[in-house]
Structure formats: C-alpha cells, structure tokens
Structure 1
Amino acid sequence: MSMALEDSELLNMFRTPASKEKAYTAIIRKYQERLYWHVRRMLVDHDDSNDVLQNVFIRVWNGLENFREDARLFTWLYRVATNECLTFLEQKKKRAAVPLGDVEEGLSNQVKADKDFDANKIEWKLQLAIQKLPEKQRVVFNLRYYDEMPYEEMSRVLDTSEGALKASYHHAVKKIEDYILNS
C-alpha cells in the first residue's frame, strides 16, 4: 500500500469492511513514528512508551469508526495519544501514591540513566528541564517545540484556548531558560 494515500482515502477504506484492516495498518504505518516520539517525550521510558502506544492503537481501532473528521486525522491521533499519556502518568502517581513532583523527579532520573547522558551538554539540560515542568506545560512545550504544532491545532488536540496555550508555552520556556542558566 502506498504511503501517498490521503487521510480521507484511508478513512473511507477503513469504513469499508473489506479494506478496514489494510487501511488501519496504513494509518498506523503513516503515523506510528511521530506518535511514538510524541509519547516518548512525555514518558521518557521506551518500554512505557511502547505500552502506551499499544493502548493508543487499540483506542484508534475502536474509535476510528466514529471519527467525524471535524479535525485532521493527525490531530485526533495526537489527542488520543496525549490523553493516553496523561492517563498513564495519573495511574503511575496513584500506584506509587507519591506526589507529582516525585513522578517528575523519576522522569528526570530516567533521563540521567541514559547511557549517553552528559549533564554538561545542552540537549541533556534541555531534557532535564522539560521533565521538571508541570504536566500541562510539558505537553504544550513538546507539541510546540518538537512537533512545531500551530496553537490552533494544539487547541483542538488539548481542548484548551489558544491564549491559555500561549501562556503555558511562555511559562514553560521561562522555566526551561531558568533551569538551563542556573544548573
């Protein structure tokens, strides 16, 4: 199946019983890598990211039939992935019965555990700074900085006003700058 198929064609194929599985496979192939990195930036750990991504794909299979196309497919997929990440982090907090700050500290420790970790390199400082952000700011920063997602699309993914997203991004950038300059 060609990667050149438009989302609308893939959705039409998905809604046709004879081509449903082929279309689903093509959608996953088309967006799997981008979704993986979106999830990985939020959760840090590769195994956790793979587990969450599997849940995302199950939700996509179960929910795609009802996708109304009032947003782009990619936007909807990001929303599903973001919600799964937030659910995972929430469950992790409850299981551990620890404050959010400890979960964020755990994410920072996972960054530090990477075999290539070098605290003096700016990209590692950036990763550590991102993991120190509150959940919402971390999501907004990742979508804007790494995925270069416009605020308008981000607003649909996160169901938040553009103004609130711009403020979150601004606060995140300020905290990251402070962390990098003072560490």
Structure 2
Amino acid sequence: MRQGVPIALAWAALLFSLSLPALAAPTWYGVFKGGWTDFDYPDLPSGIDTTDSTFSLLAGMQFDFNPSSFSAGLEAGPVWLGRYGPDDNLSVGGLEAAVVGVARVATGTDLFVRTGVLGWDAKVRGARDEDGLDPHYGLGFRYGLDNLRFRGSVDWYELDDVEVEAYTLGFDYWFQR
C-alpha cells in the first residue's frame, strides 16, 4: 500500500486549514471510539463470522463558523476494522482522513456528518495481502457541556468490493474549550 498517500492527504488538509485563520480560530480535539463492525462481502460462504470489534484514535480540528449553529472540521488517524473469516485469518485496518460538518441542535448536543478517505491494508493469513485507498462516510452525535464529550456514530467503509459498517461509541476531549 502507498502508506504515504493518506498521510499526505491528512497533512495537506491540516496545512490548508492552518491557512484559514481569517475564517475562524480552530479548536483542537482528540477522539477515542470503539464498537463493532459488520463485514459485508457477497462471495463469503455462509457460516463465516462477519462481526468483530473496532476502534479508532483520531485527532481533529473544528472551525466554528457560526458557534450557535454550524461548524466544520477535519479528523484523521488510525482505525482498526477487525478480524474476520475462519480462524480470524483476515484483518483490516488503516489510516483515515475526513471532513466533518457539524450542526448544533441544542445546548451541548451536536449532530455531524463525515466523509473522507481510508488508506486500508487487509492482511490475509496464507495469502497475498491487499490494500487500497477508498471512500468512507458516516453520521453521528456528540453530547457534553465541558471538554469531555460523549460520541456515537455509524460509519461505512468501502474497500474495493467489500463494505464494512462500524457502529461506535466513544469520547471526544476538547483541548481549548
């Protein structure tokens, strides 16, 4: 896999966002989320376990264009999408970078949508590994009044002809609120 591509995209987005201080000052945050995944591959034989755990550790920045209603930002970091197949012989993980749009619906409550790219690597025991750079998208919510906020989301990852759905819960820690 061209590991440099997702890293370069994340750095390009970061540098671009740093060039926009006239629009809004960014707020930095970290995300830890975990949950379960569902692996959807049409040619997989029946009886194969297609669910596993997932976790992500992301860094984010958010621009509050209108602090009472709308903001946008970026998130990037490693994601683990699980082990699948007989004897867990397939493992999937990678680096993701996403653009995030946030709508404030009440005090301390945000809804968000995300879209971006995942540079993924699938390791298959006893066979050739595969990798790629494919889109992902998701939606979720955040709730909290202080620097530590609760988060829930659903993300869909497209890995060539395979789809992975991730259902996660986690926490955001806001460094400058």
The normalised TM-score by structure 1 is 0.26
Higher relative contact order (CA 8 A, sep 6+): 2
- Tell me the TM-score normalised to structure 2 length: 0.27
Greater per-residue helix proportion: 1
